Amino acid sequence: MTVEISNPNAQELEETLRFAFGHLPENELVIRINSLLEQYRSETLCLDGIFQAKIQDQRIGAFFSQLRIDQTILSWVPVMQEGFSIELFFEPFMAFCCKNQAIAALVLVDLGQQFDETTLVSVGKFELLSDLIYLVFPMTLTTEDSDFSEELQFLPMSYFSEDVFDQMAELVHATYRNTRDFPQLMQIAPVRQVLQTYQSGQIFLSELWFFVRKENKNIGVLLMTDQPEEQIELTYMGLIEEVRGRGYSKEIVRFAKRIANLRKRLFLLTSADEQNINALKTYLSQGFHIWDRKSIYAKFLKSEQNNLKK
């Protein structure tokens, strides 16, 4: 029997996505599918990176991937019915990567998802980077503002009349030096493009991107992303090296809680590399708890010529 690998058309998209993410609980599955369908309707999701495997008219596999502005491709692990190999997806997927001049391909594996790791690593040449730990803080636990220190100042990008995006990119780059949050990825993707990906991928509000200052000097950043319905995300926080270890990270987290409270969100979400012990300790000490985990595999396609770009 011949297996045909193709991109789904608009009518096949929802069923292909349901196959690709069928391991999720139904409520999470519906949220993810609806989000991706909305991206497709708004023309921010391209079908070229989504693959289905069929025998005649029967779907036996699916593989979701998406090109980002920073020239990385984000995907979830391919899914195939028992008796068929995910290797069938590798050739068309690599053609998609080459066509778009991708610098890296990332594969996320959801907690508890069963997949063929041997084929992904030995045949696909992907390597395991680390686990991404997702944490949540229920806003019902928020302390009073009287517990909040005013030692740091937080100035949103919207505060400035001029364009300060380049200044923000430079500061983020400075805060990332010698940290433990997936350093391999930050070495290949220019910070400016990574930030543009954050801006384009979700609802971007300049008033939620903050310069963190002490005595009128920029010492760190806080990037937050408001999300639909009941939650808001602490997307990234960082401090320059010379001010680390002084407890400022906890103050940044407390400020993020204040913002979540002002926006009347029920949950504050964040994530960190499993190897970033200091970040995880900070979040856990501030009342967050772990609610999910994803393994991240990567294939670096153009890492040499993209090292250490800003």
Q: Where are the domains of the chain?
A: 4-125, 136-292
Q: What is the mean pLDDT of residues 69-90?
A: 92
Percent of the chain with pLDDT over 90: 65
Is 214 a residue whose pLDDT tops 80?
yes
- Fold identical between 4-125 and 136-292? yes
Residue 258, pLDDT above cutoff 90: yes
CB half-sphere exposure, 213, CA atoms < 13 A: 13
Per-residue confidence at 16, pLDDT binned at 50, 70, 90?
A: very high
**pLDDT-derived band of residue 142, with 50, 70 and 90 as boundaries?**
low
Q: How confident is the model at residue 306 (pLDDT cuts 50, 70, 90)?
A: very low
Q: Is 291 left (phi over 0), alpha (psi -120 to 50) or beta?
A: alpha
Q: What is the pLDDT of residue 84?
A: 94
- Summarize the confidence of residues 39-56 as an average pLDDT: 92
* Range 136-292 has CATH code 3.40.630.30: yes
Name the band, by pLDDT with cuts 50, 70 and 90, for residue 71: confident
Fold of 4-125: Aminopeptidase (3.40.630)
The pLDDT, as a whole number, for residue 143 is 53
Q: What is the pTM of this model?
A: 0.82
**What pLDDT was estimated at residue 190?**
63
Which residues pair with residue 296 across a beta bridge? Answer: 108, 130
Q: In this predicted model, what pLDDT tens digit does every residue of 149-203 receive, in sequence order?
A: 678 999 999 888 888 988 998 999 899 888 777 666 665 556 766 776 666 655 6
What pLDDT is stored for residue 149 in this prediction? 62
Gap between the Cα atoms of 14 and 6, Å rounded: 15
pLDDT given for residue 227 in this prediction: 80
With helix as H, strand as E and coil as C, how does the chain read? CCCEEECCCCCCHHHHHHHHCCCCCHHHHHHHHHHHHHHHHCCCCCHHHEEEEEECCEEEEEEEEEECCCCEEEEECCEECCCCCHHHHHHHHHHHHHHCCCCEEEEEEECCCCCCHHHHHHHCCCEEEEEEEEEEEEHHHCCCHHHCCCCCEEEEHHHCCCCCHHHHHHHHHHHCCCCCCCHHHHHHCCHHHHHHHHHHHCCCCHHHEEEEEECCEEEEEEEEEECCCCEEEEEEEEECHHHCCCCHHHHHHHHHHHHHHHCCCCEEEEEEECCCHHHHHHHHHCCCEEEEEEEEEEEECCHHHHCCCC
CA distance 204 to 181: 22
Higher pLDDT, 254 or 179: 254
Phi-psi group of 71: left, alpha or beta (phi > 0 → left; psi -120 to 50 → alpha; rest → beta): left
